[in-house]
Structure 1
Amino acid sequence: MDTNPPIPTRAMVVYAHPDDPDFSIGGTAAAWSQAGAEVIYVLITSGNSGSHVEGMTKEHLAAIREEEQRAAARECGVHEVVFLRYDDGTLQPTLGLRKDLVRVMRKYRPDTVVCGDPIAFFYGNFYINHPDHRAAAVATLEAVFPAVSMPLAFPDLLAEGYEAHSVREVWVTDSTLKDTMVDISGTLANKIAALRQHKSQVEGWDPTEMVTAWAREEGEKAGLVAAEGFRRMILGREEKPPVSPAVGTPGDNPVPA
Structure 2
Amino acid sequence: MSESQEAPPDRVLVLTAHPDDTEFCVAGTVMQWTALGTEVTYCVLTDGDSGGYDDGLPRQSISPLRRAEQRAAAGYAGVREVRFLGYPDGRLEPSIELRRDIARVIRQVRPQVVLMPSPEINWARIADTHPDHRAAGEAALRAVYPDARNPYAHPELRAQGLEAWEVPEIWLIMGPSPNHFVDVTDLFERKLAALRLHTSQTAHVADLEALLRRWQTEHAVSGGLPAGRLAEAFQVIRL
Give the TM-score normalised by the residue count of structure 1.
0.85
Amino acid of the structure 1 residue aligned with 2:175: S
Q: How does 1:200-219 map to 2 (within 5 A)?
A: 200-205=200-205, 207-219=208-220
Shift, 1:30, TM fit: 0.8
Which sections of structure 1, spanning at least 5 residues, go unmatched? 236-257
Within the alignment, does 1:24 sit opposite 2:28 as a pair?
A: no
Q: 1:3 to 1:163 in 2, by over 3 A?
A: closer
Whether the 8 Å CA contact 1:3–1:181 is kept in 2: the answer is: no
Within the alignment, does 1:190 sit opposite 2:194 as a pair?
A: no
Give the Cα–Cα distance (whole angstroms) in 2 for the partners of residues 56 and 88 of structure 1: 17
CA displacement, residues 178-203 of structure 1 (integer Å, 9 cap, x when unaligned)? 11111212221221011100111112
SS of corresponding position for 2:114: strand
Partner of 1:68: 69
Give the Cα–Cα distance (whole angstroms) in 2 for the partners of residues 55 and 226 of structure 1: 36
Q: CA RMSD in A?
A: 1.8
Q: How many aligned residue pairs are there?
A: 233
Amino acid of the structure 1 residue aligned with 2:172: V
Amino acid of the structure 2 residue aligned with 1:197: L
* Structure having the larger proportion of residues in helix: 2
CA displacement, residues 124-144 of structure 1 (integer Å, 9 cap, x when unaligned)? 5x5572111110110000000
Partner of 2:139: 139
SS of corresponding position for 1:114: strand
Give the Cα–Cα distance (whole angstroms) in 2 for the partners of residues 173 and 128 of structure 1: 9
Identity of aligned residues (%): 38
Shift, 1:26, TM fit: 1.0
Partner of 2:224: 222
Amino acid of the structure 2 residue aligned with 1:84: L
Whether the 8 Å CA contact 1:101–1:143 is kept in 2: the answer is: yes
Q: How does 1:62-141 map to 2 (within 5 A)?
A: 62-124=63-125, 127=127, 129-141=129-141
Q: 1:68 to 1:202 in 2, by over 3 A?
A: same
Whether the 8 Å CA contact 2:53–2:200 is kept in 1: the answer is: no
Amino acid of the structure 1 residue aligned with 2:231: A
Give the Cα–Cα distance (whole angstroms) in 2 for the partners of residues 78 and 60 of structure 1: 24
Partner of 1:12: 13
Give the Cα–Cα distance (whole angstroms) in 2 for the partners of residues 181 and 230 of structure 1: 6
Partner of 2:38: 37
Give the Cα–Cα distance (whole angstroms) in 2 for the partners of residues 210 and 49 of structure 1: 22
Partner of 1:166: 166
Amino acid of the structure 1 residue aligned with 2:71: R
Give the Cα–Cα distance (whole angstroms) in 2 for the partners of residues 32 and 80 of structure 1: 14
Give the Cα–Cα distance (whole angstroms) in 1 for the partners of residues 128 and 172 of structure 2: 18
Give the Cα–Cα distance (whole angstroms) in 2 for the partners of residues 145 and 3 of structure 1: 20
Shift, 1:3, TM fit: 7.4
Amino acid of the structure 1 residue aligned with 2:154: F
Amino acid of the structure 2 residue aligned with 1:50: G
Q: 1:128 to 1:33 in 2, by over 3 A?
A: closer
Whether the 8 Å CA contact 1:101–1:140 is kept in 2: the answer is: yes
CA displacement, residues 48-76 of structure 1 (integer Å, 9 cap, x when unaligned)? 11134335444311000000011111221
Shift, 1:123, TM fit: 3.1
